[in-house]
Amino acid sequence: MELSVQDRLLLLNCLPKEGDIAMLRVLRDLGNALSFSEDDHADFEMKRNPNGITWNQDKAICKEVEIGPVAHSLIVAGLEARNASKTLTTGHLSIYERFVENGHAENLKLAVPNGGSES
């Protein structure tokens, strides 16, 4: 799936922080796939400030990230938890629509421990 810098940052913050060993391994791999390399930081001119992270929109490129069914279900659970707690923002709309509302989410949903996410 092709993801923008904003998509990747939002997804990283929606993932669960705890789980069983199998889930943690999937989370580690997904986190690595979504994260940014030293080159990304330099190329995209990423900077941390008191309001979050900024980057040069003109230089940032989307990244193709392979997301398997278990990782997908963890993302869906995280987004649904934020929706239930009313903590989604307008920035989440695009990823919520792609992961939760696109019809594929139901086909890929697997058992995810309760509390599937919080950031």
Q: How does pLDDT run along the chain (119 residues), one tens digit per residue?
A: 999 999 999 999 999 888 999 999 999 999 999 999 999 999 999 999 998 899 999 999 999 999 999 999 999 999 999 999 999 999 999 999 999 988 554 444 333 333 443 43
Domain extent listing, the chain: 2-108
Rounded Cα distance between 52 and 73, Å, is 27
**Half-sphere exposure in the Cβ direction for 78 (13 Å, CA):** 23
pTM: 0.80
Q: Do 25 and 85 touch, CB atoms closer than 8 A?
A: no
Rounded Cα distance between 92 and 17, Å, is 19
Taking each continuous run of H as one helix and of E as one strand, the counts in the chain are 6, 4
